[in-house]
Amino acid sequence: MRMSLATPQGWEIPVTQRAYISKSHGGRLELATIDVPKYRVDEILVKILFSGVCHTDFHAWKGHWPVKPKDNLVGGHEGVGIVVALGKDVRGISIGDKVGIQWVNRTCEVCGFCSRGSQPLCPHIQLSGYTVDGTFQQYCVCKAENAVRIPSGMPLDQAAPIMCAGLTVYKALKECRLERGELVAIAGAGGGLGTLACQFARACGYRVLAISAGESKRKMCVEKLGADYFVDYKSSSDLIEEIKEVTQGGPNAVIVVSSTTKPFDDAIHYVKPMGIIVAVGLPPGCMNADIFTMVLRNITIKGSYVGNRHETEAALEIACRSGIIPPYKVLDAHELPKVYELMENGEMEGRAVLRIADDKVQSTPVRLTAQLEPRFCPEQFTLGTRLAYRLEELGVTDYFAVPGDFNLGLLDELLKNGYIRMIGCCTELNAGYAADGYARTSPGKVAVVFVTFMVGGLSLINAIAGYPKILG
């Protein structure tokens, strides 16, 4: 008889579960029976319904990368399912909620990177399906802070591949720092990441130059994905000059998703002066950068590496709102070895999503609003950084700051917070009125005001007199 534990909400959690384990790099994948993982006070236990399969999972299984994964690895980092248990310190998530488990499984939340919203760079990070067991199992744990909220109406199997591939290209677009209407080139536009990059770029209001090869790729990029320009790098006699001519001077930014180094070298010469080149693809070897040209034209080259929970949720929202659906197939979980074989042979078309759960569950996620319990580690921050981090902990990501005429250091520290949408500075005499106006027009309808002198406090009190409720 199978033993199980019942939660107060009626969910039965088995003691054991099925999972795919690789005991050695590149060794046989074993469908094994293992214990259901224990969860900590700040973690959730999720019953996995679907899990996407990413090339990163393949590389983890093979042990291709310098940092080796854990022994007896359960892979997977694109899992979606139902919360069946909570740690006692978890806030903002309930039993029965539908969430996703992404690459970033656990971070410290107190280091400088975490405080700026750069959790993927946390020195203490734990990665799903790499340093901790991932989503190729029936039950998986993750820190509640990193659990992804999925937009209402988005099928769970459709959400799975967006949580990695979609996030990757969305974060790369953010790194380009473009204005609406500016031009971004996608080098490698005909591949899996490239097709998503074209769609996300259009959804964000950018013009798109697709760089790929072949008539079929041209039709796909222009007619189906909405690219404004297409250049065939194979048939072009002078790729750099053709790009400049077609686009009247070159793109403002370039995202390179190619697995070879030449597109990186070419981009330095055709991107506009002061342009940004974002590296997403991971080709073997090194760049042959023309440093003289890069310096003379003020070119920035940067890498882009996934994103935090909020960025994942933003990518899902954009995909849901804009109808971005990556090509994928839903397969039974036991077909994982076959998927890896197709990847190894270069025969994988689209993306694979594994059906992990036995039972049929309606894929209708619930929209959640996080209400995170504040946690302070004063030794980690200056005053301004601590205030910004405290607001993020409370879920306030849109605020107006009035640091005072003689406290610009505080403003500087607040600006380092990665979650701020807008921030303002004015004299304290006008603090209350400025905050009132901002609160009426801001997306969150809230202004949090920092004042350091009495005149600012009096101004604020005068402005909010008569409000039924004072926030902040």
- The CATH homologous superfamily to which domain 167-303 belongs is NAD(P)-binding Rossmann-like Domain (3.40.50.720)
459: which 2 tokens?
Answer: 């101004």
The answer on pLDDT for 39 being more than 80 is yes
Yes or no: say if 85 and 96 are a contact pair by the CB < 8 Å rule: no
- d(CA 158, CA 326) in angstroms, rounded, equals 8
pLDDT value of residue 458: 55
Mark residue 205 as left, alpha or beta (left: phi above 0; alpha: psi -120 to 50; beta: remaining).
Answer: left
Dihedral angle over CA of 157, 225, 314, 143, nearest 10: 40
- For residue 465, the tally of other CB atoms under 10 A from its CB is 9
pLDDT value of residue 7: 56
What's the pLDDT band for 19 if we cut at 50, 70, 90? very high
- d(CA 134, CA 36) in angstroms, rounded, equals 12
Give the chain's mean pLDDT: 82
Per residue in 58-115, pLDDT (tens digit) is: 999 999 888 899 999 999 999 999 999 999 999 999 999 999 999 999 999 999 999 9
- In sequence order, which residues have a C-beta less than 8 Å from that of residue 356 and are 6 or more positions away? 48, 49, 50, 51, 79, 81, 135, 136, 137, 138, 333
**Per-residue pLDDT averaged across 392-407, rounded?**
53
The answer on pLDDT for 378 being more than 50 is no
Yes or no: say if 314 and 170 are a contact pair by the CB < 8 Å rule: yes
Yes or no: say if 400 and 435 are a contact pair by the CB < 8 Å rule: yes
**In the chain, where the domains are located:** 5-149+327-355, 167-303, 383-466
Max mean pLDDT among 14-28, 238-252, 367-381 falls in 238-252
- d(CA 150, CA 164) in angstroms, rounded, equals 13
Per residue in 223-273, pLDDT (tens digit) is: 999 999 999 999 999 999 999 999 999 999 999 998 888 999 999 999 999
pLDDT value of residue 76: 97
Yes or no: say if 294 and 301 are a contact pair by the CB < 8 Å rule: yes
Residue 465's Cβ-side half-sphere holds a number of Cα atoms within 13 Å equal to: 6
pLDDT value of residue 307: 93
Top-confidence residue, 307 or 385: 307
Instruction: Quote the percentage of the chain above a pLDDT of 90.
Output: 62
- d(CA 157, CA 79) in angstroms, rounded, equals 9
Among 146-150, 219-223, 346-350, the minimum mean pLDDT is found in 346-350
Q: What are phi and psi of 459, to 5 degrees?
A: -60, -40
pLDDT value of residue 179: 96
pLDDT value of residue 53: 95
Helix (H, G, I), strand (E, B) or coil at 458: helix
DSSP state, residue 461: H
Per residue in 148-204, pLDDT (tens digit) is: 999 988 999 999 999 999 999 999 999 999 999 999 999 999 888 999 999 999 999
pLDDT value of residue 27: 86
- d(CA 37, CA 19) in angstroms, rounded, equals 11
pLDDT value of residue 459: 54
**Per-residue pLDDT averaged across 370-377, rounded?**
34
Tell whether domain 5-149+327-355 is in CATH 2.60.40.10.
Answer: no
